């Protein structure tokens, strides 16, 4: 599953200031998501976080950690 271009909400994060923020995913790296939120962009670490995807699916950051091509090999789509 490609998260770029999709929307999500941060349900939990090691940085409390990012909890509750939502927006469109601009960029994804192996360990972070960059999200357009409230007129600016924020970087959210995947590890230690939980997200609600625009599809209504809740995922943990560890579940989506790693590169997209690696996740496809693990069966996460």
Report pLDDT for 68: 78
| Unique residue bearing structure tokens 């962009």 | 41
Report pLDDT for 57: 95
Domain ranges of the chain: 7-74
CATH code of the domain occupying 7-74: 2.30.30.210
Alpha-carbon span 60 to 49, nearest angstrom: 6
Q: What is the pLDDT along the chain (77 residues), one digit of tens a residue?
A: 789 999 999 999 999 999 999 999 999 999 999 999 988 999 999 999 999 999 999 999 998 998 877 777 665 55
pTM for the whole thing? 0.87
């Amino acid at each position: 599953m490609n998260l770029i271009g999709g929307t999500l909400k941060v349900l939990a994060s090691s940085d409390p200031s990012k909890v509750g923020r939502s927006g469109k995913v601009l960029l994804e790296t192996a360990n972070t998501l960059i999200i357009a939120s409230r007129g600016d962009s924020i970087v959210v670490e995947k590890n230690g976080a939980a997200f609600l995807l625009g599809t209504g699916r809740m995922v943990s950051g560890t579940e989506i950690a790693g590169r997209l091509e690696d996740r496809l090999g693990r069966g996460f789509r």
